[in-house]
Amino acid sequence: MPGSDAALVVIDVQNDFCPGGALAVPDGDAVVPAINRLMPHFPRVVLTQDWHPRGHLSFAASHPGRQPFETVAVDYGPQVLWPDHCVQGTQGAAFHPDLATAAAALILRKGMNPKVDSYSAFFENDRRTATGLAGYLSGLGVRRLYFCGLATDFCVLYSALDARALGFACTLVEDACRGIDLDGSLGMAVQKMREHDIEFTAAAAVV
């Protein structure tokens, strides 16, 4: 059972990342039952939500002649181009309808700057702009974070790595996550998390 200094951070369980969505993660909706089982066992639950304006820099459609999943150079470095997804106010940006959102103490929206993508729950991709989540958690005495959601090899990965760099103890709930696995990115993400002392567990071991 997680202690009083723990929080569950649920990353981007939104319609566009689930089957049928604009940027579907394979088997993405399978995380919902596991996450719903986890939530009641944590004193605090945070949900993150990709919340892009139309014409966002990360959309391939914003770069004439470019295709989704190509990489381009932008002011803050390499940027993967994505299909338009999680556009503010659309059904695709909404949480999966079966996700128990009422359990959330905080819903953090990210990726709202039209010129900067935001994978991590803690920093935008320019690596300078903070979301404020670290201060919120620290102010509540949270020291240990459990991560789940979508996708393991992008937003979950970046969030967990940033949390470790900020001094939080981190655990990935493996069966409550799913990955995109773009050119082997899932295996590389797992290796990188292990190298940064992020623990791995299963939902049944948490509850």
Euclidean distance between the first and the last CA atom of the chain, given in angstroms as a whole number: 6
Q: Return the DSSP state at 196.
A: T
* Secondary structure class of 107 (helix, strand, coil): strand
Q: Which of 12, 84, 153, 162 is catalytic?
A: 12
Q: Which of 18, 84, 86, 110 is catalytic?
A: 110
The verdict on whether 110 is a catalytic residue reads yes
- Do 84 and 59 contact (CB within 8 A), yes or no? yes
The verdict on whether 12 is a catalytic residue reads yes
C-alpha–C-alpha distance, residues 89 and 2, integer Å: 34
User: CB under 8 Å to 186, separation ≥6 — which residues?
Assistant: 152, 153, 179, 180
Quick one: tokens of 186? 């899932």
The verdict on whether 148 is a catalytic residue reads no
Q: Are strands 199-201 and 77-80 parallel, antiparallel or unpaired?
A: unpaired
E-state strands within 17-96: 45-50, 71-74, 77-80
Q: Which of 148, 155, 170, 177 is catalytic?
A: 155
Catalytic residue IDs: 12, 110, 155
